[in-house]
Structure 1
Amino acid sequence: MRISQLSTASGVPIPTIKYYLREGLLPAGEQTSATRAEYGESHVRRLRLIRALLEVGRLPIAAIQQVIAAVDDESLGMHEVLGTAHYAIAPAVEPHPGDEDWRRARVKADDLIADLGWRIHPDAPTRDELAQALLTLDRLGMPASGESLRPYVQTAVDLVEHEIGTIPLRGPREAAVEALVIGTVVRGRILDILRRLAHESASAHLLDDSGE
């Protein structure tokens, strides 16, 4: 297909496609003349992935380039590719190793992960995310123990057992990463919304005598 047809098939404007080509996010098409190139379904898949990373994951171009590089690196297994995407969409957390409270929270996070038997990379940004959340609870006078977090752990395990089955691990890498990003970000929002709805409903049952 020509670039105009690629634009129609992907929903991405031609100037944006040309920008992705210049940035190396989209591989060049097959040159058929000095001014024309042909594109295929692999380019449509790549554009879908870029849109997912940009519009859903809210990633900057530099981070998208890292994810794309992992997708294209055939020496990396799928676990490493998905991990690169996971780490890219993780919120930025600045560690404070000089802060004793921070160090204790990070040890607490690492101990919790170890107790669960989860295989998490030592440098995973999610370790710092968890430490920051635990530190916040501590400073608000609501410290979290392993026991108090057990319902959240079990919910996470149940969700992931379902979600991992929705990722097309045997198909093109772009499709797997796209499904991971959309599933993590959008379904994560749905989970938060459903939780807040459930809170309102539970509150109504317990506290609202109006019958509405």
Structure 2
Amino acid sequence: MRIGELSKRTGVAVPTIKYYLREGMLQPGERTSPNQARYDETHIHRLRLVRALIDVGGLPVATVKEVLTSVDSPSDNIEKLLGTVQHALFPAPPPSQEAAMQEAAEQQVRAMIDELGWYCRDGHPAVSALATVLVSAQALGHGEFLDTVRRYVAIAEQIGVVDLDYIADRRFVDGMVESVVVGTVLGDTALIALRRLAQVSESAKRFPDRRRPEGQTEVSG
């Protein structure tokens, strides 16, 4: 197919497709003349993956490029691959004005990981990210939020099992590589959506008299 049909089938504008080609996010098509190329189903699949990472996952283009590098360099070391994708997904934390508090919080997080018996490589960005959350909560007067984080642990363990089951279900390395990306990026978005839905449902259970049909206002007197 020509680039126009590729655009029509994927909903991605031709200038955007050309940008992805220049940036190496989309493999070149088969040249049929100096100014034209032919594309196939693999290009459709890659464009859908790129748009899913950007539109659904909310990733910036630079991060998508980094993640796609992992997809295009298959490895049977899934633990290493997962780490590469996770490092790409976690933005570098901004310089902290409370370096001592950040370090203390990171020590808390590492102690919790050791207590749980979890395996985690040194320098994993999730440790700093969770520590930053704790520092922010403490600055707002919510130091007890750590207790809530501890309650998240059992849920997080089950999510980890489900995620790795999804990856392991792929028979071939290429499928496993892409499932790491899809399961991590889209999984994050799905979990946020499910959390919001669960909050709404639990709120309705706890405060039933506050429920009213949408658009209906309370009438006094």
**TM-score interval for Structure 1 and Structure 2 normalised by the shorter chain:** 0.7 to 0.9
| 8 A contact 1:95–1:102 mirrored in 2 | no
Are 1:188 and 2:191 counterparts? yes
Match of 1:129 in 2: 129
Are 1:32 and 2:32 counterparts? yes
Say if 1:169 and 1:90 are closer, same or farther in 2 by CA, change over 3 A: farther
Counterpart amino acid of residue 182 in structure 2: E
**Distance in 1 between residues matched to 2:2 and 2:148, nearest whole Å:** 57
Match of 1:8 in 2: 8
Higher relative contact order (CA 8 A, sep 6+): 1
Identity in percent: 35
Are 1:82 and 2:85 counterparts? no
Query: Which TM-score applies when normalising by structure 2?
Result: 0.79
Aligned residues: 209
Match of 1:119 in 2: 119
**Distance in 2 between residues matched to 1:54 and 1:161, nearest whole Å:** 26
Q: Which of 178, 189, 199 matches 2:182?
A: 178
Segments of structure 2 that go 5 or more residues without pairing to the other structure are 214-221
- Secondary structure of 1:24 counterpart: coil
Deviates more, 1:134-143 or 1:114-123: 134-143
Match of 1:56 in 2: 56
CA deviation digits over 1:102-139, x for unaligned, max 9? 21111001111222222223222211111012223333
Say if 1:124 and 1:97 are closer, same or farther in 2 by CA, change over 3 A: farther
Deviates more, 1:121-130 or 1:174-183: 174-183
What value does the CA root-mean-square deviation take over the aligned residues? Answer: 2.9
Say if 1:148 and 1:57 are closer, same or farther in 2 by CA, change over 3 A: closer
Counterpart amino acid of residue 190 in structure 1: A
Correspondence list, 1:89-168, <5 A:
89-90=89-90, 92-94=92-94, 96=96, 99-144=99-144, 149-167=149-167
- Secondary structure of 2:31 counterpart: strand
